Amino acid sequence: MKRLALAVVVIVCAVAPAYLPAQARAQFSIPGAESVLSISFSPQYPAPQSTVRLTLQSSLYDLGSSSVTWTVNGQEVAQGDAVTFIDVKTGSLGSKTEVQADITSAGGTAFATATVVPTSIDLLWESDSYVPPFYNGRALPSAGSRVHLVALTHFVRPDGGEIPANQIVFTWTRDSEVLGNLSGRGKSSITVDGPTLFGTETIVVEAASVDGSIAGQALLRIPDTEPRLMLYEDHPLFGVLYHQALGVTTFVPKNEMSFIAIPYFASAVSSGDTGLQYEWQVNQSSVTTNAAYSNEITVNAASSTGLMALINLSLTHVSNYFLSAAGSWSVTFNKSSAGSSGGDVFHQ
């Protein structure tokens, strides 16, 4: 009985971007047989030094009753009935892993091959929301801010050459919508609107070498962050004491202090951005501030009957109606020891 030998090409749309095109050998083929045996990858774009699951699929053969032999780089790694998948450890960037699956079934024999070339993409991002000078952390996006993204591809051909970004086609997608005007050859960085209020932005970038032989994908979810209002002392000698944020209740060993509000992650270019509207209240009474320094107030308890100031602050924006933040601080002054340091050098 003449054995039927079929060689098929793996499903190109599913796996070809992540590895070199599968090789096919066929003694003869029948129309449409190209897609009857395929190998799919999970994850679709294997990373270096990772485990990828290769699964054999066919619409023609009953793989459940077929004998399958898997060969990786010339070494048989698995053999048996209905062995429809194997796990393969990828190599480093630029490495090549050759995989072949041979099946024997009542309908004949066939094989499929694939080559795994791992890739990686670092998807970096930051927001243009406000953080004060010398802040050590990342600016997070709030409603109305923008997000800058950079895709750093690590595509290394098996011959050792790294493919530069200008030889790679980037396709950016935001919430399933392809950003056509931001995508294209060499377009490795983009700027998009940040997430909406309480929303999460899903950014996907697919990158492929110009010849389509190597590809990868990266996905990112960026949640909305609420601006955080922090209150600090603006000291005449030391400047803003960014290292001593005022707690909900604070005691200060003097009877006068200047406070500055810092709107972390607000959509603004500075804490004194003209678009920001600060509304101060001290002990339930509204306080008018200097328009040029609307995020600052000075409270003097020297002539006050009480020593506690309940400071309420709300922040809005003249045009960004999604920007809203508020804070409340109870500050107790030390009326009797004005000017006394009490060992605290910031209050001498």
Partner 1 sequence: MPASHHLFRYAVAAVIVMVLGGLLGWYVFVRSQVRTTQANDSARGFGTAASFGSPAGSTYTNSAGSVPSTDIQSASGNPAPRLWKVTATPVAGAGFAASSTQLYFAERSSGNVLLADPSVSSVTRLTNTLFPKVYDALFASDGSVLLRSATDAGIVTTYAGTISTTTAEGPVPLAGTYLPQHIKAVSVRSPQQLFFLVATPTGGTAGVTANWKGASQKPVFASTLQQWRVWWLSDGRMYVAQQPSDGIMGYAFTLKGGALQSLVSAPGLSILPRTGSTALIYSSSAGGVNLFGQTSASTTPVRFTVRTLAEKCVWAPGKDLVAYCAVPQVLPTRAGYMEEWYRGATHTSDAWWKVDVSAGTAQSLFTPDSGTSFDVERPAIDGNGSYIAFMNAADKSLWMLRITP
Q: Which residues lie near partner 1 (CB under 8 A)? A: 120, 122, 124-126, 128, 132-140, 148, 150, 152, 154, 189, 191, 228, 230, 232, 237-239, 241-245, 247, 264, 270-272, 293, 339, 341, 343-346, 348
Closest CA to 173 of 186, 188, 183, 187: 183
Choice between 43 and 239, CB closer to partner 1:
239
Choice between 85 and 235, CB closer to partner 1:
235
CB of 80 to partner 1, least distance (A): 33
CB of 93 to partner 1, least distance (A): 9
Cα(85)–Cα(38) distance, integer angstroms:
11
Choice between 110 and 149, CB closer to partner 1:
149
Cα(323)–Cα(47) distance, integer angstroms:
39
Handedness of CA 174, 12, 118, 77 (dihedral sign): positive
CB of 190 to partner 1, least distance (A): 9
* 93 close to 120: Cβ distance less than 8 angstroms: yes
Choice between 24 and 150, CB closer to partner 1:
150
CB of 114 to partner 1, least distance (A): 26
Choice between 247 and 306, CB closer to partner 1:
247
- Measure Cα distances from 171 to 82, 121, 215, 342 in Å: 38, 13, 11, 61
Q: Alpha carbon 279 to chain centroid distance?
A: 34
CB of 59 to partner 1, least distance (A): 39
Show the tokens assigned to 164: 């530069």
CB of 126 to partner 1, least distance (A): 5
* 53 close to 42: Cβ distance less than 8 angstroms: yes
Choice between 16 and 231, CB closer to partner 1:
231
Choice between 166 and 341, CB closer to partner 1:
341
CB of 238 to partner 1, least distance (A): 5
